Amino acid sequence: MYEQAGRLHVLNTESGKATPLKISITPEVLALRPQYRNVAAMMRSAAISPTGMRAVVEARGDIFTVPAKKGESRNLTHSDGAHERYPAWSPDGTRIAYVSDVSGEYQPAGTGPARH
């Protein structure tokens, strides 16, 4: 192994061929780790799925589904810089409709297919 022009290379002594060594370092940034947050005080609207197994809620500008009893909550929108509001299940429970201001004005949006 040797360094040339700021890059590490591996030299195969039998063939004489040098190959650049690719190194990637993932920083341990605590803010980027998944976190559990209690957003109950930030909820604005909610709706129960047709089966009653999950609810869809609007909190902190995102749309989440949460289980009725146990399981994981799911952030459906992950929309930094935009707000989604007024989530509603489709009658058959396969989709969730909401409005979003991602374009600068509130417009209909939605997810699909939703797992209820």
| pLDDT at residue 90, as a whole number | 93
41 and 60 Cβ atoms separated by less than 8 Å: no
On whether the CB atoms of residues 70 and 79 are closer than 8 A, the answer is no
Query: C-alpha 54: how far from its chain's center?
Result: 18
| pLDDT, tens digit, 9 for 90 and up, residues 37-80 | 787 888 889 999 999 999 999 998 899 999 999 988 888 998 87
Q: How far apart are the first and last CA of the chain?
A: 55
User: Residue 95, by phi and psi: left (phi above 0), alpha (psi -120 to 50) or beta?
Assistant: beta
d(CA 33, CA 37): 12
More confident residue, 34 or 20: 20
Mean pLDDT of 74-90: 89
Q: Where are the domains of the chain?
A: 39-111
Q: Is the pLDDT of residue 106 over 50?
A: yes
Can you give the length of the chain in residues? 116
